[in-house]
Structure 1
Amino acid sequence: MSFDTTEHNRQRFCFDGVESVWLFGYGSLIYKVDFPFLEQRPAMIHGWVRRFWQGSHDHRGTPDAPGRVVTLIEQPGARCRGVAYRIAPDVFEQLDEREKNGYLRFTTTLSFDDGRCDEGLVYIADEHNAAFLGPAHEADIARQIAVSSGPSGHNDEYLLKLADALRHLGDDDPHVFAIEGYLR
């Protein structure tokens, strides 16, 4: 079941007087950059891990047969590598529509490769949203991804592009790579 968060996200933050905001991407926002940005940099956030625990009823699956996409799960001591984009606040209108199936914007501290940190936003679909599928064995997740498809394409394309993008970033994500191994 989907949960449209578009309007909720648009009311969640006030960007009056703000020229730009950092956005952290850890899933398709790493490799499918179909939005304007002012700057792009590798970054990481601490205390979170990437997991294929969110259902995709609108992009990589359908309401009757959801695909699986990544969200972030809190885990003390963990870190999640991705890409930070400095964007104009009006870009969120497009991104809120793209990330509408259960994802809410949260503030986070971004750590950049040069040691600097800055505040930014991240989309997270937590366990309280209706599209949350939760944990499963990586082999079962791979089987679901292998047969899922939606308006944005086959679910396996999402997984494979994400795995390639993480390798390009120099990230070793055991969860993503285990699912990729089962899929192949």
Structure 2
Amino acid sequence: MTITTVEHNRLRQNFEGLSSVWLFGYGSLIYKVDFPFIEQRPATIEGWARRFWQGSHDHRGTPEAPGRVVTLIEQPGALCKGMAYRVSPEVFEHLDIREKNGYLRFSTPMVFHDDSSAEGLVYIATAENAAFLGPAPSVDIARQIARSSGPSGPNSEYLLKLAEALRALGDHDPHVFELESHLR
């Protein structure tokens, strides 16, 4: 069930002539930084809400029992806090593989905490990808997270580390914290 988007992402942006690119992380890219970066800054994007609506068949679950990880859902007026990284274009060779299960790279304006801004890239798993699970009651999502595990570890670890990272950023994400509450 793994939906490989690696080649599709490699065709989405042309990095020719660029020495660096901004990347916005809103899920595991906040706390699991397994790539080199030039600069790291807290940032916010507007019009997007973080939701545990994407299936994870390759990291936090299996094809037979997918876990749930976050993606972004368009929501007018919403603010999504995360971490921005200025990276060399070569870093996307690793990230495209890491984010291969349904995630595509999109361009997004980001606002840093000092009110400066930049254009960056963000990985989003849209509702059109085959691994998209969509909305469900929060108790059901928490149950699925509690029982799922994959090559990257328990799905619950993903949720708990994300909640901790969001608190460190000073963010209060009602969706994430409600799921954390159900999980505990």
**Cα distance between partner residues in 1 of 2:136 and 2:177:** 15
Secondary structure of the residue that 1:97 maps to in structure 2? Answer: helix
- Give the drift of 1:86: 0.1
1:3 is matched with which residue? 3
Q: Quote the offset at 1:11 in angstroms.
A: 1.1
1:133 corresponds in structure 2 to 133
CA distance in 2: counterparts of 1:73 and 1:160, whole angstroms: 21
**Which residue number corresponds to residue 104 of structure 2?**
104
Q: 2:99 matched to 1:86? A: no
CA distance in 1, matches of 2:123, 2:67: 18
Query: 1:91-114 CA distances to partner (integer Å, 9 max, x unpaired)?
Result: 000000000000000000000011
Matches within 5 A, 1:155-174: 155-174=155-174
CA distance in 2, matches of 1:105, 1:42: 19
SS in structure 2 of the partner of residue 89 of structure 1: coil
Superposed, which structure 2 residues align to 1:46-85 within 5 Å? 46-85=46-85
C-alpha distance in 1, partners of 2:77/2:158? 27
Separation in 1, partners of 2:165, 2:67: 20
Give the deviation of 1:3 after TM superposition. 1.1
Shift of 1:171: 0.1
Kindly tell me the number of residue pairs found equivalent between the two proteins.
184
Q: Distance in 2 between matches of 1:146 and 1:113?
A: 34
Long gaps (5+) in structure 1? none
Deviation at 1:158, TM superposition (A): 0.1
Q: Which residue of 2 aligns with 1:121?
A: 121
Structure 2: distance between partners of 1:113 and 1:177 = 22
Give the distance between the partners of 2:176 and 2:81, measured in 1 at CA.
12
Q: Distance in 1 between matches of 2:137 and 2:146?
A: 14
What's the counterpart of residue 26 of structure 2? 26
Residues 11-61 of structure 1, C-alpha deviation per residue, up to 9 Å, x if partnerless? 111100000000000000000000000000000000000000000000000
Find the aligned partners of 1:135 and 1:34 in 2 and give their Cα distance: 29
Structure 2: state its 5+ residue gaps. none
**Structure 1 residue identity aligned to 2:55:** G
Partner of 2:182: 182
Distance 1:104 1:136 in 2: 23
Q: Give percent identity, aligned residues only.
A: 74
TM-score (norm 1): 0.99
RMSD after superposition: 0.4
Read off the aligned partner of 2:36 and give its amino acid letter: P
Q: Secondary structure at the match of 1:63?
A: coil
Distance 1:3 1:47 in 2: 26
Determine the structure 1 residue equivalent to 2:143. 143
Q: Secondary structure at the match of 1:129?
A: coil
Aligned partner of residue 90 in structure 2, secondary structure: helix
Pairwise CA distance, 1:2: 2.5
> For the residues of structure 2 that align with 1:99 and 1:48, how far apart are their CA atoms?
19
